[in-house]
Chain A
């Protein structure tokens, strides 16, 4: 009996954290999967086990496919651009330039703003007629444009807002990583005759790989997780042209109160995220040099 005492003690110490974790993370996750196999309880009719019916409905749901497609476009539009931009900005403000403190602050500001505030700023930019973009356009004689009201441009507009918001955040990680790279490496390369681009390609970029992986995983998760601006700017419209997967789940779950179907959609979202994150780690891990 005595032998188990330290173990019991250990488990007791873990208990509070474990309870919180189970109550707020593990249980809801499992419950979501469980609920996705049930119909939604409606007006006196209790929830019934319906197996994979929710998933079968999903296959036939054009809005689901549209949201998935939108989300793919949104991810492809935001991730590479915001990471590339973040890297560029970090390289720039890492150099010896005048007023780099101000520049760093300027680049980082969008990150600090709440998404709702960001959405409001950009709502003004996009306003047809007297919004900033149209005003600038009118200087060059361009016609008015309803940026957020047009199926063809609305998703692009959301992508721009997201890139604007995220790039500064990712820049901070790149900046921190760049400052870890000893300037002597640059001098050694200069003595060997390596140009700036060669040095970036052979040395800086490979040394930034751990950061890139981290940023990439975050960017992917964010592209499926960030919906504040959809809520604030477009509500998924027009005609679901800007509906992202999580926004659609919100719509189904909290506006149509179809909780069973929402649970099934959530499971799909989680599976997508898990596969993507795992894939990134497995593929990129081999190419990452950790110091």
Chain B
């Protein structure tokens, strides 16, 4: 039985459909990331599951129970908000204990759970402080503490790390993942940061315009993106999408699959080189199109130099130009033999 099941859920505000017939399930004990660009309906989906918004249509089940019309407190969820939503006048301890006090958990039990949570999150020495006396990362931990002390089976998080600096975000990412696995929680995690999604998730649900673009494990999302949009959303720099000779087909090649070589299939010219330390992003002009290539270390060539590009045939993705959908899933055999692909690109690029 899945911990959370969303069935054909729609949320409408007047004319706008923030969430449009979304269905997915989250397995118990898994970390599911809702990913997508700004305004795609991630927060709304999460808030529908939390019960902070009422669904216009569809059903939501948590642990097999239909909770569509239940208030948040009776859904068996905990939530971490983007702004943390700590009570500014209460101490860290009181913030964490807020829910237990509401539910009149006995004092001894409260103390035991507070000690456990504080230990887990390293908050022991901050318990008497007010939120204003904490750093952003510490506030984040308190919000996390308030969520996990409830011991709710499902934890919802809306961009919990977006207010932290890059370094801390990295640390907290690992910490949250470790905590989730240690406590065996089911976690629904909203982010617009694809690297956060890829590194933390068991399952990624990519949203676009209120609909699910793809629902898959991170590796599957990367290896077999279901649409051109998914292909470009995952990975940095994003996948190159090129027109092909066959007007109905788009070709996708990841920058990291492209090799700059003396002897390659396609002639190109270097436009710009962005050195990033471990690797460099090379912008190549391929006739009228721009292709990004990611190569290791430094590139010893000047801008404007002629290079040849090549890539493994099996790393080429094909998409329907009209719908954006992946082609080799829907058509078999593939529309073009692998050997032809290089020539197709070359022909399309005119070079």
Spell out A's residues near B (CB within 8 Å). Answer: 182, 184-185, 187-194, 198, 202-203, 206-207, 209, 289, 291
Contact = CB atoms under 8 A, between A and B. Distances in A.
Interface string B145-174: 010001000000000000000000000000
B89 A192 contact: no
A191 B89 contact: no
Interface of B: 50, 52, 71-74, 77-79, 81, 83, 85, 87-90, 98-99, 101-103, 130, 132, 146, 150
A188 B132 CA distance: 18
B102 A191 contact: no
Contacts of B150: 192
B73 A191 contact: yes
A66 B98 CA distance: 50
Contact of B89 (A190, A193, A289): A289
Contacts of A209: 89
Nearest to B98: A192
Contacts of A184: 81, 83, 85
A289 B81 contact: no
Given A198-B102, A202-B90, A202-B101, 13 more contacts: A184-B83, A188-B81, A188-B85, A189-B98, A190-B71, A191-B52, A191-B73, A191-B79, A192-B73, A192-B150, A194-B73, A202-B87, A203-B89
Sort A-B residue pairs by CB-CB distance and give the 10 closest, nearest first.
Answer: A193-B73, A192-B99, A289-B89, A188-B85, A184-B85, A191-B72, A194-B102, A206-B89, A191-B79, A193-B102
A185 B88 CA distance: 10
B103 A193 contact: yes
A202 to B, nearest CB: 8
B156 to A, nearest CB: 9
Contacts of B98: 189, 192, 194, 202
Contacts of A190: 52, 71-73
Contacts of B132: 291
Nearest to B77: A191
Contact of A187 (B85, B101, B103): B85
B8 to A, nearest CB: 24
